[in-house]
Structure 1
Amino acid sequence: MIKMSEFDPVQDAEMLIGKFISREIDEEEGMRLLTFLKDNPGWDQKLYEQKYLADLLAETSRGPTQELSEVDEVKSELLDELYRHYEKVSDFSHNSKGRWRTLTILLACSAGILVLVITALVHAFFFIPKFSHPTQVTVLAPFTETSQAVAVLSYSVDVKWSESMESAPQVGAAMLTGTYDFQSGVVMTKFYCGATLIAQGPCRMEIVSGEHVSCFQGRFSVETTDSTNPFHLSSRDFSSIKGKKFLLDLSRNEPELHSLSEATESIRTDSTQSIKLHAGKGIRIEKTGRETSISADGTGYLSSDRVVALAESVAARNLERWKKSREEWLRDPSLCLFFDFQSETDIRKTGRVTNLAASHTGAPGSATLVGGRLGDGRWPGKNSLEFRTVSDRLLVSIPERLTDITLSVSLRADEIERNLNSIFMTEAFGKGALHWQILNNIDNGERGAVRLGLCEGRPGKFQADNFDAPVVFNAETLGTWVRLAMVLDTERRTVSHYLDGKLLVRYDVPFEMHIDLNKAEMGNWSSDTPVNPIRNFVGCFEEFMLFSRALSDDEVGLLHLAIP
C-alpha cells in the first residue's frame, strides 16, 4: 500500500507565498494562505519581506529616475503601487472580489508591516530600475497566443536558404503560410492535415494553407495517409494535384508528374477536367503545352525513410564538425567557462558538470548540478542539460573579476511560463551583478524577449538597468534550438544581444560598467532568502560559454557557424 505523505502546513505556506509573489496564485490558494497568515503571527511579515525583495529584483520599469531624499515624498506612491498590485490580483475572480479585498487589507495592515513598507520605500528609491534605449535594433515577430502555423519542419539535409529569406527555419520549427526559397538541399515538412511534403532544391514554393502548396521550382514528393486527404499542390501548369504518393518535377524545362501509388488526380490550369493517373503512369508538359504520356519513374523520388537516413548521416557529420570547432575555441585563453554536457559519467554519478576551459584559465574545474538531468541535443550523440522543475539549476563560480564578458548559450526553450525565466544569473543583485533571462510580460508586450539586467553602483545609490532584446521566442520558435549571445564591452560601454550569430540590438551604456559574477546559476536563481521568486527555465541547454573579453560581431557569428 502506498502511504500518503503528511500535509506540512509550513511547506504549503512557503509554496503559496512563492506563487503569490509570482502572481500565479488562484482563489482557493489565496484563501488558504490568508487562513494560515491569520493563524500564524509573523508569517505576514515574511510575506512582505519576500514581496519587497521580489519587486526589487523584478527589474521592471517605473519611469524616469527620480532624485528623492525625503521618505514622505515617496510613501504615498509606493503604497498606491502595492494597492494597485493587490487590486490586480483580486481580478482573478470577479465573484470573489470582496474576499480578495479582505486578503489585501489583512496583508497590508498587520501589526508591524507599515514600518517594513516605509523601510522598503527608502530602499526602493535607492535602487531604481530603468530602461536604456538601443542604438541598433533588429525587429522580430512578436509573441502571440495564437499561431498561423500549418506544418512543422521535420528534417533538413544540407539546406542553403536563399538570402531572400528573412530568417531560416530550424528543424522542429513551425512552418507558417508564406514563401520558402532555398538554393540546395532537401526539406521535409509534415502538415497538420497528415501530409508529408519533401522538397529538393533549388526550390521555391509558397505554403498557401495547411492543405495547399503552390510550387514554382524544384522537385516535390508527396505522401498522404490516403487518397481522400485534401492536401494538394499547384503549379504554373496544374491548378491542383492530389493523391496518396506522387512526384512533381519542376527542375526540368518540361515539367513532369509521376503517380507512384493508386490514382493521382490532377487538373490543368487551362481546364476544369480532372485527369487520373494510375500507379506507374505519368505525364510530361511540353513547351507547347501539349501533354505526353510517360511511365512513372521513381528514381528521383525521395521517400520519408530516405530523408531520415540522409538527415542522420548529416547529423553525424555535423557532430564531428562541432567537436572540431570545440577544440579550436578551447585554445582561446579568454574562455573561462565551457560546458558541453558530454561527460555523462560525471553528471550521472557525481552531479558535477566539467568545465572544459578550466585547464588554462584557473576557473573552477566543474559546476554543481542540483536537479536537472541529461537530455538529447540537436543531433544523435549530442547531450544537453534538461531543466524541468523549480529546483533544477547549475551552480557555477567565477572568482576572477572580469572587465569584459561574452556569454553564449545554445538552448531550447520549451515553455516561458514564469514572469522571468533564468538563463544565467548572479545571486542577489549587488554592484556588478548580471541577470540574463527571458521575459514573460504579456501586459507590456515583452513575452519572449531577452533581457540583460545590470546593477550599477555609485555612492549612496544603486541603479538597475535593463537592456532588452526584441522578442526571440514566440509560439512558432518555442521547442526549437537557438543560439543566444550577449556581449558586454566596458571599454566601449556597449551591450549587444545576438540570435543565431546575428546582431539583434546594441545599446550605448550611460554609466561606467563593472562586472562581479562570483556565484551564479544557470537555468534558475536564488535570492539567499527563505522564499525565492520562481524564475526557473524550462527546456534544455546544449552548450554554454563564457569569455572574459568582448567578442566581435564576426566572432559571435563564428560561434553559431559551429552548429550547422
Structure 2
Amino acid sequence: MDNHRLNELTLAHLDGCISDSEFAELQQLLESDADARTRYVEMARLDSELRESGGAFDEPASEKSPQLSTWSRMPRVAQTLVIAATVLILLVPTWMMVRPDRPVGNQVGGTTNATPSKPVRSVAVISAEADAVWTAEDGKRIGKGTALEPGMLNLAEGLAQIDFFSGASMTLSGPTVIELRSRNLAVLHRGRVRANVPPAARGFEIQTADVRLEDLGTSFGIVAGDNGQSDVVVFDGEVRAVDREADELSLLAGDTAHLVEGGATMSSSQELGEFPDILAIIERSGDLVQSRYARWKAAATDRRSDPRLIAYYDFENLTDTSRRLANRAVAGSGSELDGGIVGARVADGRWPGKPALDFRGEGDRVRFNIPGEFDAMTLYAWVRIDALDRDLNSLFLTDHFDPGEIHWQLSVHGSLHFATSPIGVPPAPAGFEVAPNEQIQAENRRFWSENFWDASQSGHWFLLATTVDRAKQPSVVHYINGQPVGFNGGSNMDRPLPKLRIGYADLGNWTDPIWAKAIRSLNGRIDEFAIYSAALEANEIRTIYMQGRP
C-alpha cells in the first residue's frame, strides 16, 4: 500500500475536490486493501472530529448568519499536517507511550492524576455491499463506508462485507443478525457469515450457540439458526472451538462441526450452502448498480406525467457545459420553469453515469422563478450531504422571506427544516436595516425534524422530502429515506399556514438573504428534485424512495 498516495486521495475526498478518476483510484485501493480501509476510516474520523472542535458552537438554530469554524478556514496544507501528525501519534506503539508501571487504556491508578484517553468508538467499517437492506434500531442509515461502533447489526437481505480494524473481514448473507463487541470479537445470533482472518489478526473470535470460535489465521463459514444451534465449516487453516466447559476442539480445513447449548462436536461433511466472498459482492454490486439506474429511469419517465407536478428535475443529460437544468414535468409551464445553473459543476450522482450537480463554492446554486400560490405542496430531493458547514444549509430557499414564501434547509445539527410566514419579514423599525430577529420569528411557522445526519454519514445519499397541507394538522410532515420522522422543535406549528409561494428561489443557496452576510450554501450533491402542488401520501413517498435508492 502506498500510504502517501492514499493520504493524498483521502484528503482530496474529504475536502470535496477529488476528481472522478481519483475517486475511482481511491475506491480500488479501499476495495483491495484492508489496511487502506482502516487508515481511511481513521483519517475520516479525525477530519470530522477536528472540524467539530475547530470553533463550532452549539446554539438553537435560527434565521441568523452563521460563522465558519476555525477548521473550515484553515488552509488544507495545515489541515494535512494536523491530520498526519495525529495519525502518526496514533500509530506510535503503546509501549513507547506508557511506562511499564502505568495502567493502560481506561484504567487509572490510584496515585495518578492523568485523565483516561477517550477510546476510538468504531471497531469496523462496511467495505462493500450488494442489494443490502439494513435494519437499524435508531433509524440511522448505514451502508458502504459506514464506520461501525459496538452494537447490534441487522442485515435483512442482500450481501455485505465488514472489515474489522483488527484486520479480520466478514461477509454477511442476509438475513443475518450479528453483534459487534470489539475489533476482535463478534457474536453471531442468527444468519450466515464467512470470516477471513489474515495472520496479523490471529485471535479474532466469533461466538455463537455459546461456543467461542477462535481463528488461528484462516477462512471459515458459520450458519446460525433461530433454534440456538449452529454449524461451522473450515475452508482453510485452523479454528479452535472452545465450549462452555472450556474444552477445546481443533478444526482443520474441510472439517465441519455442530454447535449447540455451549458444546461443539465434529459432524460429518454436509452441504451448508454458499458462503459468498468479497469478489462475489463486488460482481453482484456492479450488476445491481446498472439495473437500479435503469429501473429508476423507467420510474422517472412515468413520474413526469403526474398532473400534480409543478416542476420536476431529473438532472439527466447534463454535461460540463450545461448551464440550464431542464424541467421535465409534462404538465404545467414546461421550459419556463427551467433552472439556471450558477457555479455548480456536473458530477456523478447516485450511480456511475447518473449526472448530479455538485455544490461546493459559496456562489454555487440553481436559480428558478416559479410563480403561483398553493394550498399544499411536496418538496423532495435526492441529496448527498458531504458536510453541514453552516448553521443552516440551503436545500431550496426563496429570495428574502416575503409572506407565504417557503424555506427548506438543513440545520448544522443534522435535521430537516421547513418554514413559512404569513407576514414574512416585517418592516424594520427606525434606525434598523432589518427587523429584529424576535419580531421576524414571532409569526414564523417553523418545523424541525428529528436529527438524522452526522459526520459519519458524509457522502451518503438521502431522499429528503417534506409535505405541506394547509387543511391538515399537523400541516407539515418530514420524511427521511421514505419514512416519516418526528419533530424535535419548531415554532407556531399549530397555527394556520398562509398560501404557499415560491417566486424567485435557489436550489443549494440563498441569493437575497434577510441579513446581508448570511451564508447558506450547500456542501454536497443533488441529482433529482421535484415540487408538487399536493401533499403526497406516505406510501407515495416510500415508493419514490424504493424506486430511487442507490
Q: TM-score range by the shorter chain?
A: 0.5 to 0.7
More deviation, 170-179/467-476: 170-179
Matches within 5 A, 1:136-175: 148-161=121-134, 166=139, 169-175=142-148
- Within 2, Cα distance between the matches of 1:160 and 1:257? 25
What is the Cα deviation at residue 307 of structure 1? 0.7
SS of match in other structure, 2:500: coil
Letter in 2 for 1:328: D
Match of 2:479 in 1: 498
Is the Cα contact below 8 Å between 2:313 and 2:328 reproduced in 1? yes
SS of match in other structure, 1:308: helix
- Within 2, Cα distance between the matches of 1:190 and 1:474? 21
Change over 3 Å in CA distance of 1:425–1:274 after alignment to 2: same
Match of 1:398 in 2: 370
Change over 3 Å in CA distance of 1:490–1:505 after alignment to 2: same
Is the Cα contact below 8 Å between 2:166 and 2:201 reproduced in 1? no
Q: Deviations over 1:519-545 (max 9, x none)?
A: 111111122699542211111112111
Matches within 5 A, 1:142-291: 148-161=121-134, 166=139, 169-242=142-215, 243-250=217-224, 255-261=230-236, 263-272=237-246, 274-278=248-252, 280-285=253-258, 289=263, 291=265
Aligned: 1:321 with 2:323 = no
Is the Cα contact below 8 Å between 2:337 and 2:370 reproduced in 1? no
Change over 3 Å in CA distance of 1:515–1:498 after alignment to 2: same
- Within 2, Cα distance between the matches of 1:250 and 1:512? 54
Change over 3 Å in CA distance of 1:195–1:403 after alignment to 2: same
Is the Cα contact below 8 Å between 1:424 and 1:436 reproduced in 2? yes
Is the Cα contact below 8 Å between 2:194 and 2:277 reproduced in 1? yes
- Within 2, Cα distance between the matches of 1:239 and 1:285? 13
**Which consecutive unaligned segments of at least 5 residues does structure 2 have?**
1-51, 56-60, 70-117, 428-438
More deviation, 507-516/157-166: 157-166
Change over 3 Å in CA distance of 1:287–1:488 after alignment to 2: closer
Of residues 480, 484, 508, the one that matches 1:523 is 508
Higher RCO by CA contacts (8 Å cutoff, separation 6 or greater)? 1
SS of match in other structure, 2:471: coil
Matches within 5 A, 1:296-311: 300-311=274-285
Letter in 2 for 1:497: H
| Structure of higher CA gyration radius | 1
Match of 2:78 in 1: none
Of residues 440, 443, 451, the one that matches 1:471 is 451
What is the Cα deviation at residue 429 of structure 1? 1.3
Q: Deviations over 1:413-444 (max 9, x none)?
A: 1111211111111111111222111112xxxx
Match of 1:484 in 2: 464
Q: Deviations over 1:70-113 (max 9, x none)?
A: xxxxxxxxxxxxxxx99xx9xxxxxxxxxxxxxxxxxxxxxxxx
Of residues 452, 455, 462, the one that matches 2:421 is 455
Change over 3 Å in CA distance of 1:496–1:252 after alignment to 2: closer
Report the identity percentage: 24
TM-score for both structures, normalised by structure 1: 0.66
Change over 3 Å in CA distance of 1:277–1:188 after alignment to 2: same
Change over 3 Å in CA distance of 1:159–1:350 after alignment to 2: closer
Match of 1:410 in 2: 382
Change over 3 Å in CA distance of 1:252–1:434 after alignment to 2: closer
- Within 1, Cα distance between the matches of 2:247 and 2:296? 54
- Within 1, Cα distance between the matches of 2:389 and 2:307? 38
Change over 3 Å in CA distance of 1:189–1:433 after alignment to 2: same
Aligned: 1:59 with 2:70 = no
Is the Cα contact below 8 Å between 2:134 and 2:156 reproduced in 1? yes
Change over 3 Å in CA distance of 1:350–1:175 after alignment to 2: same
What is the Cα deviation at residue 308 of structure 1? 0.9
Is the Cα contact below 8 Å between 2:400 and 2:514 reproduced in 1? no
Letter in 2 for 1:541: I
- Within 1, Cα distance between the matches of 2:338 and 2:525? 19
- Within 2, Cα distance between the matches of 1:60 and 1:492? 30
Of residues 394, 400, 403, the one that matches 1:422 is 394
Change over 3 Å in CA distance of 1:451–1:303 after alignment to 2: same
SS of match in other structure, 1:456: coil
Letter in 2 for 1:377: G
Is the Cα contact below 8 Å between 1:418 and 1:535 reproduced in 2? yes
What is the Cα deviation at residue 396 of structure 1? 1.8
What is the Cα deviation at residue 208 of structure 1? 1.7
Letter in 1 for 2:377: I
Change over 3 Å in CA distance of 1:356–1:194 after alignment to 2: farther
Is the Cα contact below 8 Å between 2:373 and 2:499 reproduced in 1? no
**Which consecutive unaligned segments of at least 5 residues does structure 1 have?**
1-23, 28-56, 62-84, 90-144, 441-446
- Within 2, Cα distance between the matches of 1:304 and 1:438? 36
Letter in 1 for 2:477: S
Match of 1:436 in 2: 408
Aligned: 1:344 with 2:348 = no
- Within 1, Cα distance between the matches of 2:226 and 2:447? 51
Matches within 5 A, 1:359-398: 360-362=332-334, 364-398=336-370
Is the Cα contact below 8 Å between 1:282 and 1:296 reproduced in 2? no
- Within 1, Cα distance between the matches of 2:120 and 2:355? 30
What is the Cα deviation at residue 325 of structure 1? 1.6
- Within 1, Cα distance between the matches of 2:379 and 2:280? 38
Is the Cα contact below 8 Å between 1:165 and 1:181 reproduced in 2? no
- Within 1, Cα distance between the matches of 2:203 and 2:525? 37
Is the Cα contact below 8 Å between 1:158 and 1:184 reproduced in 2? yes
Is the Cα contact below 8 Å between 1:421 and 1:535 reproduced in 2? yes
What is the Cα deviation at residue 382 of structure 1? 2.5
Aligned-residue RMSD, C-alpha: 3.6
Is the Cα contact below 8 Å between 1:227 and 1:244 reproduced in 2? no
Is the Cα contact below 8 Å between 1:260 and 1:296 reproduced in 2? no
What is the Cα deviation at residue 170 of structure 1? 3.5
Matches within 5 A, 1:44-193: 58-59=62-63, 148-161=121-134, 166=139, 169-193=142-166
What is the Cα deviation at residue 149 of structure 1? 3.5
Match of 1:130 in 2: none
Matches within 5 A, 1:525-540: 525-527=510-512, 532-540=517-525
Q: Deviations over 1:351-410 (max 9, x none)?
A: 222221166444635211112222222333323221122122111221233332110011
